[in-house]
Amino acid sequence: MGRFLNPGNSGFERIISEDTYVDKTGIIGYLNQWLNKSTRYVCVSRARRFGKTVAARTIRAYYDNSCDSHELFAPYEIARDPSYEAHINKYDVIGLDVQAFFQFGQDHQTFVERLVMAVRDEVCKKWSSIDGLGEMTLADALATVHLETGAKFIFVIDEWDAVFRYYPEDDDLQKDWIHFLRDLFKQEDIDDAVALVYMTGILPVKKYKTQSSLNQFREFSMLRPLVLEKYVGFLPAEVDALCEKFDMDRAEATEWYDGYMLPHEHHVYNPCSVAQAMTYRSYGSYWTKTDTFESLLDYINNDLDGVYQDVMSMIGGEYIEIDTNSYDNSFTAPQCKDDCFTLLAHIGYLAYDATTSQVFIPNEEVRMAFRVALQKCSWPDAIKPYQRSQKFIKAIHAGDSATVARMVEETHQYMTSVLSYNNENALACVVSVLCFYAENSYHVIREFPTGKGFADIVLLPKKGVQKPAIVIELKFNKDVKAAIDQIHDNQYPGRLADFYGDLILVGISYDKKKAHDCAIERLERERG
């Protein structure tokens, strides 16, 4: 076993030893179908910390002919696949972690040269009886080995796009890397030697001005996962099993980590965050503490084509339609708002609904990242949502209806176009944005079911928070008293009385003249 050539199965052995391991070996069944065919070039892109490396180590361990992995894989899905025995431990595997080549202060411009030398040295060592391998290109060396021995190679390339993430402005380095991959996998001489190429990273294969230099690769991305979508993250049933195993609240897991929408599986959870929440027995933000956070902040600060206002709308629960076709799969400065949101969807800061071509904030973990980013936002004309939201919630607690009405009106005018102004959904979005600060202490729920209808917005105190629940009802072109009356008539307070202490009822109305009004009523629970 070597570092790059046939690295063995110890990585997979460590993975399955974790108490939070979820079986995703079924992806190998698909790869087995594509071996030695034109479909053997596969690029699987996933958001940061969405199990890319776990998948890469799993695949390496299965195919690597320097070890016996039968015992490790026996309990898992792939062992029941008809193709299992035909391919397990039958290939020479070249495993590359591209990110590792940029560590330890090494000259990044020599990255491709160092990679070639490292792999070729191990090829020369294993097939030392074949003369001249050390003087050949890597492609020629592998082709020669295949001709002499019949060996078939499987490439597993992890973090393939690290070049673009770490050095987004170094065009020469990026081209060197793409040209290396093109020369390695498009040469006719090596074609028969390659059984499979599995690349994974955050971004799909890089596109240039005319066409991709790697157009033989089939793409399975966060936006279009196709047949591999159930391997993107954890599915609801898998999270259910983990919550039961670790005695964790299922609803909280959903609130924190669910929301990535896929065409057939519908909802996918962030796997890394779920696993950490189970391990530490605590829900919170684990995934968003990554180097991609600075990118998020930059995009908001630049406010390209109105990015800031759309982000505010998404914080309020809105979906934003985008066109993903113009994005060139790079980490350089986006050229338009669509590119910005497409990149954020690939990174995992937004979820994408392919049926409607809309992006949205998927869950509390990501929403928290946006809250932090907006607090640090340096855009000079931006409304400071955190400070405004603090004032808004304090006004509700104090029963200051005049301040609440004024703040809703100001924010409504700022955020909403004339065409959609007279729309209760737009008002609900505005109020949700003004509840921005409240999400530190409350679960903010739109269309809360009560048994006799749905309350427009309900703020439920989080576990351990000693604050009153808040029910907000919105009305257009009606007296604000009608909003408060509806709360009582539909018995919304009764729906919450058994679970929370004091309750604050808030009615907000506006008319065709765009005047806003507010009424606040506090119901105090009797205390013994």
**Residue 381 scores a pLDDT above 60:** no
Task: Give the pLDDT score at 74.
Answer: 97
3-state secondary structure of 527: coil
Domain with CATH 3.40.50 in the chain: 10-220
Would you give the DSSP letter of residue 516?
E
Task: Give the pLDDT score at 511.
Answer: 78
User: Across residues 77-92, what is the average pLDDT?
Assistant: 98
Highest mean pLDDT among 73-77, 158-162, 208-212, 294-298: 73-77
Highest mean pLDDT among 80-84, 134-138, 187-191: 80-84
Pick from 416, 424, 266, 259: nearest CA to 345: 259
Given pLDDT bands bounded at 50, 70 and 90, which one contains residue 416? low
Q: For residues 118 and 116, what is the distance between their CA atoms, to the nearest angstrom?
A: 6
Amino acid at 145: V
Which of 212-216, 267-271, 423-427 is predicted least confidently? 423-427
> What is the phi-psi region of residue 461: left when phi exceeds 0, alpha when psi lies from -120 to 50, beta otherwise?
beta
Task: Give the pLDDT score at 453.
Answer: 62
Task: Give the pLDDT score at 420.
Answer: 58
Task: Give the pLDDT score at 409.
Answer: 87
Task: Give the pLDDT score at 183.
Answer: 87
Query: Higher-confidence residue: 426 or 404?
Result: 404
Query: Higher-confidence residue: 68 or 414?
Result: 68
**Residue 111 scores a pLDDT above 80:** yes
Q: CA distances (Å), 362 to each of 319, 371, 374, 384, in order?
A: 10, 14, 17, 22
CB 471 within 8 A of CB 496: yes
Q: Provide the mean pLDDT of the chain.
A: 85
What is the topology classification, in CATH, of domain 10-220? Rossmann fold (3.40.50)
Share of the chain above pLDDT 90, in %: 45
**Residue 298 scores a pLDDT above 80:** no
**Residue 422 scores a pLDDT above 70:** no
> What is the phi-psi region of residue 183: left when phi exceeds 0, alpha when psi lies from -120 to 50, beta otherwise?
alpha
Query: Higher-confidence residue: 2 or 504?
Result: 504
**Residue 528 scores a pLDDT above 50:** no
Task: Give the pLDDT score at 116.
Answer: 93
One DSSP character per residue, 231-263 reads: GSSB-HHHHHHHHHHHT--HHHHHHHH--EEET
One DSSP character per residue, 51-81 reads: SHHHHHHHHHHHHBTTS--HHHHTTSGGGGS
Which of 79-88, 136-145, 300-309 is predicted least confidently? 300-309
Q: Residue 444 class from Cβ within 10 Å (0-12 exposed, 13-18 middle, 19+ buried)?
A: buried
**Residue 212 scores a pLDDT above 70:** no
Task: Give the pLDDT score at 28.
Answer: 98
What pTM, to 2 d.p., does this model score? 0.85
Given pLDDT bands bounded at 50, 70 and 90, which one contains residue 419? very low
Q: 272: which 2 tokens? A: 């890394």
Given pLDDT bands bounded at 50, 70 and 90, which one contains residue 442? confident
3-state secondary structure of 97: strand
Query: Higher-confidence residue: 502 or 115?
Result: 115
Given pLDDT bands bounded at 50, 70 and 90, which one contains residue 328? confident
Highest mean pLDDT among 82-91, 188-197, 276-285, 376-385: 82-91
**Residue 452 scores a pLDDT above 70:** no
Task: Give the pLDDT score at 130.
Answer: 95
3-state secondary structure of 305: helix
User: Across residues 235-261, what is the average pLDDT?
Assistant: 93
Given pLDDT bands bounded at 50, 70 and 90, which one contains residue 450? low
CB 1 within 8 A of CB 67: yes
